[in-house]
Amino acid sequence: MESNTCRNSLTVKTSHVLPPDTNTHGTLFGGKLMAHIDDVAAIAAVRHARETVVTASTDSVDFLAPVKEGDSICVEAFVTWTHNTSMEVFVKAVTEHLLTGERKVCTTAFLTFVAVDKNGKPIPVTSVVPETDFEKQLHDHAPVRAKHRKERRANSKELATTFGTDFPWDR
């Protein structure tokens, strides 16, 4: 299986923030931004694997700057690391005030995708080769992030088992 560079999966999407995309404060709905992030990250993962993918996890998404009505939102993503059947994707979202040109990073995130076959079973993915210093830094720290994801997932499974499907007041 050949390897791909991070650049091969680079995906960029720019959208204009319009009134239906905003809340009562005139800023982009957080869920709308998260949808942009998942969409762009999924395309990057498919570009890397050239297979169907599913979202396995999203690390924390911190909203660092508001995205206002009339601004643009530019979401960039690329695969930073792979492990057997999974891919870690780094995402950066930048808001731009279109009249002044002022730009701010409004969020960064890491998402994990798994490549699947037509039956939904995980399949191996091509390794990724970082080229730039930034890509190498993300790649080198990925195993630590993966370890934290694994721990977080175990905690989530424990909570799901503990609380089950009933509402708390039904117990």
Beta strands in 7-102 (DSSP E): 11-16, 52-58, 72-83, 86-96
Residue 171 has a pLDDT of 61
Residue 111 has a pLDDT of 97
Q: Which is it for the CA torsion 66, 104, 37, 137, positive or negative?
A: negative
Q: What is the mean pLDDT of residues 45-63?
A: 95
Confidence of residue 168 (pLDDT cuts 50, 70, 90): confident
Confidence of residue 30 (pLDDT cuts 50, 70, 90): very high
CA-nearest of 65, 54, 56, 124 to 92 is 65
Residue 165 has a pLDDT of 87
CA-nearest of 36, 18, 41 to 98 is 18
Residue 166 has a pLDDT of 84
Q: Is the pLDDT of residue 157 over 80?
A: yes
Q: Are 33 and 107 in contact (CB under 8 A)?
A: yes
CA distance linking residue 135 with residue 46, whole number of Å: 19
Q: Is the pLDDT of residue 140 over 90?
A: yes
CATH superfamily placement of domain 4-163: Hotdog Thioesterase (3.10.129.10)
Q: Kindly list the domain boundaries of the chain, sorted by start residue.
A: 4-163
Confidence (pTM): 0.92
Alpha helices in the chain (DSSP H): 30-49, 133-163
Rg (CA), the chain: 18
CA distance linking residue 102 with residue 22, whole number of Å: 20
Residue 16 has a pLDDT of 97
Residue 2 has a pLDDT of 82
Higher pLDDT, 20 or 60: 20
Q: Is the pLDDT of residue 26 over 80?
A: yes
Start-to-end CA span in the chain (Å): 52
Q: Is the pLDDT of residue 57 over 90?
A: yes
Over the chain, what is the mean pLDDT?
95
Higher pLDDT, 28 or 3: 28
